[in-house]
Amino acid sequence: MTASSCPPRDMIAPALSPRAGAPPVEWRISDGLVGYEEALAFMEDRVAAIARGAAPECVWLLEHPPIYTAGTSAKDSDLLDARFPVHRTGRGGQFTYHGPGQRIAYVMLDLTQRRRDIRAFVCALESWLIATLAEFGVAGERREARVGVWVQRPDKAPGPNGEIAEDKIAAIGVRLRQWVSFHGIALNVAPDLSHFSGIAPCGVRERHLGVTSLKDLGAPATMADVDAALRRHFEAIFG
């Protein structure tokens, strides 16, 4: 199948359940801020162990101190103001921001035991986020040309051709090694949105495309509320 003949992501079945008899996914939730290098070291070790069959799959929920991360497609010109430490990483995608008030979910799953399809995996992550956001009254949407989850903002100035303004509320950046995934998603719960101004998030520069959060949208939620919703909807999609 060529890239042009691939179905849109919203037409891909999102379910990525494991094979029968697979051990349950381990859930880790860290209090406080976890350093980025510490998180990377854990993921490297855990992904290797999952690939060997020596450890169960894992989802790790955490927050980072303020940092910018650059994926494999990041352009130096998209780093506008290096006001926070910059980490070059092997995940897909471009520049993004991580910081307090943003829920990171690092997702370490064995796609060999599920479905060896990276597009289906990204679609499943988007569906997971969209279902989670719906619990808080937020209509998250995917965009075929922009990975991540977006919300329409008719209250903001439209684009140059009258396009409805949109804000990104969740980013996705993943990597696979031996068909085991790592890195994952970043959902804006209540971060300082001004911290995104040091980068062109995910390479997006259009004035009518910005960033938002649950708090910014008037849908405040505690991190515990978000964690509970993430787990419920993860199990519906990933088993």
Annotated binding site for substrate: 91-98, 171-173, 184-186
Sign of torsion over alpha carbons 32, 189, 74, 8: positive
Amino acid at 211: V
Q: Of the listed 6, 58, 123, 202, which one is catalytic?
A: 202
Q: What is the DSSP letter of 199?
A: B
Question: Is 202 among the catalytic positions?
Answer: yes
Q: Residue 115: left if φ>0, alpha if ψ -120 to 50, beta else—which one?
A: beta
- The whole-angstrom separation of Cα 86 and Cα 67 is 6
Residue numbers in the known binding site are 91-98, 171-173, 184-186
> What 3-state DSSP class applies to 230?
helix
Which of 153-171 are b and which e, b meaning 16 or more Cβ less than 10 Å from the residue's Cβ? beebeeeeeeeebbbbbbb
Catalytic residue positions, numbered: 202
